[in-house]
Structure 1
Amino acid sequence: MHICFITNEFPKEGFPHGGIGSFVKTLAVSLVKKGFQISVAGINYTPNNETEIVEGINVYRLKKSTIKGFSWYFNSKALNEKIKQLHKENPIHIIESSELGLAFLSKIKDIKYIIRLHGGHHFFAESENRKINKWKGFQEKRSFSKADAFIAVSQYVKKHTEQYLSYNNKPIAYISNPIDTDFFKPISENESDNKILFAGTVCEKKGIRQLIQAFPFVKKEIPNAVLEIYGRDWFFPDGTSYIKMLKEKELPKIEKAAEDVCFKGAISFNGIPNAYSEAAVCVFPSHMETQGLVAPEAMSMEKAVVFTKLGPGPEAVEDYKTGLLCDPYNPKDIAEKIIWFLSNKEKKEIIAKAARKFVVQKYGLNTIMDQNIVFYKSLLKSED
């Protein structure tokens, strides 16, 4: 079977990538090991074409158009041409993208087109209480109309997406994103007893501002606590930096505690486990997630995790059994959960060990990979 993933986020050395990129690499590598042919096609970060083989995956990064107002057209044209070429050389059976990814793809007979619900424009517009952008909303509806099937990474994202977009009576499966529990495994000797870690895009919806506001409450109880923030910057529509805003507006508010807040910048995929391993507590107070990868990744490493109680948080963490759930809009609540872990080391260790067992069972790579393969094959079988 030949599967082609459509994404611009496949990890590339020296460039930031998001959760979708991590997901595609993790699943694609495991599928290659099972004998599947895997291609990844997307638009490059730079204005040139690049092709490489990454752990058996054929990765095609296409030249990025810089023509203002028409870049979407030329990028889509390049992507369509590449897919046609790949299909001619070795027939593609499945094409998979995230919510907007099929909008301008030309459908080819005999290929099944799947949308995996990672959290699209309508989904996050609801969670962030903002208006639908007409252009993005149009693309998402157009993309959904072209899909032959859907995969939801959590029950929450399925229910909240269907309030705005139709699945058009097409097959839909619930399959969590996988966690490579051999890659994310315990490295206990690195752990610091006072380090609090955040990882993810540094933006409002990840709850980082409230985490910074929570930090002085933590320092009051745990004076030697430090907060390390890993992740790429986010930029406002006018091009200004979110991290710069935090440094200029939020850090002065927490006064002396700001001395122990460290922005570490983006981190490579291979560097993530080492960063997690050094933390006493990993905190991800997201305002909204579709599933969230960072929480189960850290849990897989037997780390104490504070995750959001909103959205799919309770699907990923059982409160006081595999981690702690917090109100991401309440800095005092975030602080209380961090302090609880740092003050209850024996209970923290029990919870952390239970967390890994839970992740292995629910998000284990082999389990999730098998679920995906069964679904892929069921779609192709329906054509027979």
Structure 2
Amino acid sequence: MHICFITSEYPKPGYPHGGVGTFVKIIANKLVEFGHRVSIVGINYENKSEEELNDDLKIYRLKPKNYKGITWFLNSKSISDKIRQIHNNEAIDIVESAELGLAFIKKQKNIKYIIRLHGGHHFFAEAEKRKINRWKGLQEKRSFKKADAFIAVSKYVKIHTSKYLSYHGKPVRIIKNPLSIEKFKPDSNIPVNPNKIVFAGTVCEKKGVRQLILALPYIKKVNPEAEIHIYGRDWFFKDNTSYINFLKKNTLPQIGEHMKSVFFHGPVSYDKISEIYAGAKLCVFPSHMETQGLVAPEAMAMEKVVVFSLTGPGPETIVHQKTGLLCNPYSPEDIADKVNWALSNPNKAESIGKNARAFVVKTFDQEKIIKENIDFFNELIN
């Protein structure tokens, strides 16, 4: 079987990427291990075309076209042309994209087109308290009409997306994001800092990092030595203003002297993130909204106590005080309450960590998840 992923986020050395890029890298390499061919097609970070052509994994980074008003059309055409070229040489069975990815792609005969629900424009609009952008909304609706099937990474994203967009009676399968239980496992060789609270992910408003910072004074009332360590790429406002700079200028001053206990470390490679979790006492991801996310299950697989959001798919991922803790992501006081509980109940926390790994092994194991994807692909093809 030959699967083609449309994404411009596939990890490239020297450039930050988000969860979609990490996901595609994981699933692409595992599909190759299972004997399938994979192509990745997207727009390059640099102003040139590049190709990495291995036996069964081929990455095509296309030169970006920047012409005011029609950039979207020209880049989509480049992707469509490349997919057609690949298909003519090595027949493609499945093309997969995120929510907006099929809007202006020209479909080829004998290919099944899938949208994987990573969290589209409509999905996040509510959580970010913003109106639907008319242009992006139209693109997403157009993209959904073209899809032959959908994969939802959680029950929540399937149901919530259906409030705004139609699946047009096409198949929708819930398949979790895959996770390497061998890569993410307890590591006794790395000492745990008893005061270290770790956040990992894109540093932006919807990830709840501002509320986590504001929770620190409440945390320090019970645990005065606590520190917050923030790992992840920066996010930028429309005027290109850095969100991290926004936090340093506007949020840190609100916590006064406690600002000295907040550390920004920048992006961390996928290969190193497990070491960050290993050194943490607990991990806190108070996202306002997620489709599923990778960071919470990753940290849980390492037997860390995870404080996750009670919104969105949080309850699908964590049973409160059994496999982790759920917090109100909009309330610094509630985030602090859950953190303080974990730090003040070490025996219960240890039990939660072991339960968390057992749950992740059962639910997110790569081998199991990849087989579910392959089975679904085969159903569509046949």
* Cα distance in structure 2, aligned partners of 1:12 and 1:317: 32
The TM-score normalised by the length of structure 1 is: 0.97
**Structure 1 residue ranges without an equivalent (≥5):** none
Query: 1:249-294: per-residue Cα shift (whole Å, max 9, x none)?
Result: 1101101110010000111111111111111010000000011111
Whether the 8 Å contact between 1:97 and 1:116 is mirrored in structure 2 is: yes
Tell me what 1:181 maps to.
Answer: 181
Tell me what 2:266 maps to.
Answer: 265
Mapped pair 1:245 → 2:251: no
Q: Residue type matched to 2:100 in 1?
A: L
* Cα distance in structure 1, aligned partners of 2:185 and 2:63: 37
Tell me what 2:288 maps to.
Answer: 287
Q: CA deviation at 1:301?
A: 1.2
Deviates more, 1:180-189 or 1:354-363: 180-189
Tell me what 2:367 maps to.
Answer: 366
Q: CA deviation at 1:53?
A: 4.7
> SS state of the match for residue 143, structure 1?
helix
Q: CA deviation at 1:54?
A: 7.1
Tell me what 1:152 maps to.
Answer: 152
User: Mapping of 1:1-384 within 5 angstroms?
Assistant: 1-53=1-53, 56-190=56-190, 191-381=192-382
> SS state of the match for residue 270, structure 1?
coil
Deviates more, 1:114-123 or 1:188-197: 188-197
* Cα distance in structure 1, aligned partners of 2:111 and 2:292: 28
The TM-score normalised by the length of structure 2 is: 0.98
Q: Residue type matched to 1:16 in 2?
A: P
> SS state of the match for residue 79, structure 1?
helix
Query: 1:13-66: per-residue Cα shift (whole Å, max 9, x none)?
Result: 111111111111111111100100011111111111111157952111111122
Q: CA deviation at 1:111?
A: 0.1
Q: CA deviation at 1:353?
A: 1.0
Query: 1:113-162: per-residue Cα shift (whole Å, max 9, x none)?
Result: 00011111011112222111011001100000000001111111111111
* Cα distance in structure 2, aligned partners of 1:230 and 1:300: 18
Q: Residue type matched to 1:6 in 2?
A: I
4+ residue runs over 4 A deviation: 53-56
Q: Residue type matched to 2:318 in 1?
A: V
Superposition CA RMSD, Å:
1.1
Whether the 8 Å contact between 2:39 and 2:58 is mirrored in structure 1 is: yes
- How many residues are matched? 381
Identity of aligned residues (%): 58
* Cα distance in structure 2, aligned partners of 1:286 and 1:269: 20
Whether the 8 Å contact between 2:36 and 2:56 is mirrored in structure 1 is: no
Q: CA deviation at 1:166?
A: 0.7
Q: CA deviation at 1:88?
A: 1.0
